[in-house]
Amino acid sequence: MATANQTSARGARMPVRTIADRYELIEEIGSGGMGKIWRGYDSVLDREVAVKVIHPEMLLSLEHITDLAERFRREARVTARIQHHGVPQVYDAVLDADSADRLYLVMQYIDGRNLRSYIAPTDPLPIAWAAATAAQIATVLSHAHAIPVVHRDLKPDNVLVTGDGTVKVLDFGIAAILRRDITKITVTGSPVGTSRYMSPEQVNAAQVTPQSDLYALGCVLHELLSGTPVFNGNGQYELWKQHITGTPKPLRELRADVPPDLEKLVLDLLAKKPEQRPADAYTVYERLLPFLPSPGSPALATSSRLGEMPDPTLLYRQPNAPRRRTPRPSPVPAPPTVPQAPTTPPTQLRSAIDDALKRSTELLDSDRFAQAADVVDAVIGPAARMLGSESPDLLRLRFHRALILFLGGDSRTALPEFDALVDAYTRTAGPSSDRALQSRRYAAHCRANLGQNTVALDQFRQLLDDVASADSHASELALDIRYSIGMLLLSANDKTAAENVFESLYQDHLVINGPDDERTREIADLLTRIRLPSPHSSGIE
């Protein structure tokens, strides 16, 4: 790491700190819970950048520092797929060469102010402005959730308003970069997120889905309209309790001019159970439309204080719409079986299949998911034509491709293929075959990732019954299914049922894997958290 005196991108001569021999830190422009933000300069590509310096204490532990950069690259690849102007792109991650305990995230530079600076209890935003801000956020979420990418920490501090009123949502995926597994409890016993905007399932350190972001959006919209947060507990634990059990005060009791339908939308977003919230971000956008100005309408007169805030309705007076909702993919029907198809691939095809499986696995090791899927795709067509639609080799290729999509975070595309594979393996290998059971397992995981918790829970329970009948409740697959069932119950805030599942699972892991096994310790931590007394009963504030 070098330091030099150079002329900044804006002309002032000042000391410049350079990281990775490339990014010059020009001036500090902000700070937050995760670290400080600098305006910087990329000397290689000749462009301004924003550099976030992550506080060392935000990292899970120093023993994991060596895999931070790789985990960042994996998350950044997924985040880059959002492809929306409301999401600043992340360019690079740099570890401090001297102390090795500091992470620099290099991002697109956005000239704007965060939404927090425009919130005031005595002067809340006009209805149309609050609705337009929330609609822009919903637009961004519609693009992210289509992948799906979940933000996990949506709050006014992570929303920038630019000079033309455009909203930018910051820090997609950073929570996942800093934590090895977002579904696990952190070393401090605290879930990941910001207390005033955390969904009940995040407080419980349970399954995080797109509906978790919608809850946070409800918190933000409530605050924009009323000037005050949904809950004002004294301390973190009291806030957590309020998110889990508290009843939000209806907005019309705080501000009489809030339309009833807008109040209802906020209350729906703040539903305790994820599946009781709006179906998706596009639904939220549609419900906000009646409160947005029509195309060609004049700007709304505002207070002198709000004269500092760029008008967020501009995009709707000069229309800008979110990503259109794409129809849910239908299960892929099995193509008709080719009569008298050979069961053994010819030598050339066998070589192509082996090479595709080997090459795609190598690409997976580098987290290059899209390219890995393309490599398998290239051989699936020829294999289907030569071997038949349900030959073991073709089904193996299809399963491998579906698994790549799942591991790459594309549960939406993987789901119909796993559903089709369940049918195909049931017909060709039997309902109790390993691949039929594994396909059912991954289909349930896909549904859980997409927020279809009730259906996923039913599928996991049916699968557990079948696995236990064929083997036992203590097989490796059964243990994994039981863990998934417990996490979904925890996500639904059914702590009693979740505790029963995890207690039985913990006892089996003790016998099979021992007390020092990572999953055994993880389940013990979950049980400890579930059994913690409520903040109210313990007097914690």
Catalytic residues: 153
> Which phi and psi (to 5°) does residue 505 adopt?
-65, -40
Q: What tokens does 198 get?
A: 């955390």
Asked, as a colleague might, if the bond just before 535 is cis with ω within 30 of 0, I would say no
Q: Which residues of 299-338 are buried (b: 16+ CB within 10 A; e: fewer)?
A: eeebeeebeebbbbbebbbeeeebbeeeeeeeebebeeee
Write the DSSP string, 215-256.
Answer: HHHHHHHHHHHHSS-S---SSHHHHHHHHHHPPPPPGGGT-T
421: three-class secondary structure by DSSP:
helix
Using alpha carbons only, give the angle 234, 263, 85 rounded to the nearest 5 degrees. Answer: 90
- Work out whether the CA dihedral 12, 14, 20, 22 comes out positive or negative: positive
The single-letter code of the amino acid at 336 is P
Question: Residue 461: exposed, middle, or buried by beta-carbon count in 10 A (0-12, 13-18, 19+)?
Answer: middle
The single-letter code of the amino acid at 459 is Q
> Which phi and psi (to 5°) does residue 249 adopt?
-75, 130
Strand 103-108 and strand 90-95: pairing?
antiparallel
d(CA 125, CA 155): 16
- The radius of gyration of the chain from alpha carbons, rounded to an integer in Å, stands at 25
Which residue is it, tokens 């719409």? 321
d(CA 526, CA 507): 13
